[in-house]
């Protein structure tokens, strides 16, 4: 008995010793992953800058001779665009979100949007933000779907209004979506319906998402403040972007009136905005073509689009990446 007594005090502690390193390793692993996520946006910025040195140099040279006051006005319209995006995000969700953090998340989402096409980066950042605010996954996903649906609908309605009141609408030509685009959209919807009908594992989550989205949409449209934030912000976003293009054009001497620049931007974005290209490359090409069709020299139209991307994408890229890293580090995302 005496030989066993020294082991009895240590026997309860002995099974705890192998678990102690595991417990300490878990926070270290989480910290390593968090640091990697913090530096990932900065790495993306560096890679993008190295692979686009010529474009950045040409844009900087052309903008060096531009009117700085008009460029400052374009920067102001760009900042208002993040406010409008925050309004749409809030309008698509019944729960109230902290305005400051919501605005910061949308600023950071702009930097993340350069890594993935078709707005996937921005949606991923917003989804992480909503989950961190305690929003259930189905409601957060439904708000992203509503956001993605309202934006093109509002943009098309604004375009139709400008086409109706502006003589530039007669000169749009093939940039306005015609029956072929509607046919492609109908085929895509039919294929999606067939996939849902055949693949049973997808049916339950998709029908649950649709049920939640419809319930939230009914609830949101019963609140005037949410309706104003959702549809007002969605209509303001393309108008503010178009005003940025017009401001840069005025700074560079673009010989196209302001209303026609707005119509050109809305038409280009509506016609080819669904193309999944990072940074809106297809929209940029269509915008240059439309401005040239409206009477602008190709060089000036190209410089205007480059200046637009400098103000809306390239200039906020590094600050947006820093904000994204800060939000990840503070566990907001």
* pLDDT per position as a tens digit, 122-141: 888 999 999 988 988 888 88
* pLDDT per position as a tens digit, 75-132: 999 999 999 999 999 999 888 999 999 999 999 888 777 666 556 778 889 999 999 8
pLDDT classification of 272: cutoffs 50, 70, 90 = low
pLDDT classification of 9: cutoffs 50, 70, 90 = very low
**279 pLDDT higher than 70:** no
Would you state the pLDDT for residue 180? 47
Would you state the pLDDT for residue 7? 47
In terms of average pLDDT, the best of 73-82, 219-228, 263-272, 299-308 is: 73-82
Q: For the chain, what is the mean pLDDT?
A: 76
Mean pLDDT, residues 290-312: 85
Would you state the pLDDT for residue 43? 62
Q: What percent of the chain lies above the pLDDT cut of 90?
A: 19
**177 pLDDT higher than 70:** no
Would you state the pLDDT for residue 88? 94
CB-CB contact of 217 with 146 (8 Å): yes
Would you state the pLDDT for residue 141? 87
CB-CB contact of 162 with 171 (8 Å): no
Task: Choose between 160 and 29: higher pLDDT.
Answer: 160
The lowest-confidence range among 147-161, 175-189, 237-251 is: 175-189
Global pTM exceeds 0.75 = no
Would you state the pLDDT for residue 12? 47
Distance CA 98, CA 104 (A): 10
**2 pLDDT higher than 60:** no
In terms of average pLDDT, the best of 28-37, 244-253, 312-321 is: 244-253
* pLDDT per position as a tens digit, 41-76: 556 556 655 665 665 566 567 667 888 899 999 999
Mean pLDDT, residues 216-231: 86
CB count within 10 Å of CB 295 equals 13
Distance CA 134, CA 130 (A): 7
Would you state the pLDDT for residue 280? 55
Distance CA 227, CA 221 (A): 6
5 φ/ψ angles, rounded to the nearest 5 degrees: -65, -35
Would you state the pLDDT for residue 241? 93
CB-CB contact of 309 with 279 (8 Å): yes
Sequence ranges of the domains in the chain: 56-329
Would you state the pLDDT for residue 201? 66
- Give, in degrees to the nearest 5, the angle at Cα 98 between 96 and 100: 145
Q: Which of 136, 114, 323, 132 is nearest to 213 (CA)?
A: 136
Mean pLDDT, residues 264-272: 76
Would you state the pLDDT for residue 287? 85
Mean pLDDT, residues 176-200: 57
C-alpha dihedral, 172 to 174 to 177 to 183, nearest 10°: 170
């Amino acid at each position: 008995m005496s030989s066993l007594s020294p082991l009895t005090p240590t026997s309860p502690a002995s099974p705890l010793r192998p678990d102690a390193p595991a417990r300490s390793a878990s926070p270290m692993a989480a910290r390593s992953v968090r640091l990697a996520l913090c530096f990932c946006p900065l790495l993306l910025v560096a890679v993008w800058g190295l692979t686009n040195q010529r474009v950045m140099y040409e844009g900087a040279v052309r903008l060096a001779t531009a009117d700085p006051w008009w460029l400052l006005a374009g920067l102001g319209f760009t900042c208002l665009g993040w406010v409008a995006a925050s309004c749409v995000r809030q309008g698509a969700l019944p729960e109230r979100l902290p305005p400051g953090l919501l605005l910061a998340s949308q600023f950071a989402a702009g930097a993340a949007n350069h890594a993935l096409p078709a707005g996937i980066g921005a949606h991923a950042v917003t989804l992480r933000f909503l989950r961190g605010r305690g929003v259930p996954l189905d409601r957060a996903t439904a708000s992203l779907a509503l956001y993605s649906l309202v934006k093109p609908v509002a943009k098309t309605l604004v375009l139709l209004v400008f086409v109706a009141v502006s003589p530039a609408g007669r000169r749009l030509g093939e940039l306005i979506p015609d029956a072929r685009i509607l046919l492609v959209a109908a085929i895509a919807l039919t294929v999606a319906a067939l996939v849902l009908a055949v693949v049973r594992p997808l049916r339950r989550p998709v029908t649950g998402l649709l049920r939640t989205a419809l319930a939230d949409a009914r609830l949101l449209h019963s609140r005037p403040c949410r309706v104003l934030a959702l549809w007002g912000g969605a209509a303001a976003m393309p108008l503010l972007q178009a005003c940025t293009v017009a401001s840069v054009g005025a700074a560079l001497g673009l010989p196209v009136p302001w209303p026609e620049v707005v119509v050109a931007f809305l038409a280009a974005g509506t016609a080819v905005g669904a193309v999944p290209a990072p940074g809106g490359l297809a929209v940029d090409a269509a915008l240059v073509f439309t401005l040239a069709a409206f009477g602008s020299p190709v060089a000036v139209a190209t410089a205007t689009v480059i200046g637009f991307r400098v103000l809306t994408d390239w200039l906020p890229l590094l600050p947006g990446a820093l904000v994204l890293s800060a939000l990840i580090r503070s566990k907001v995302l």
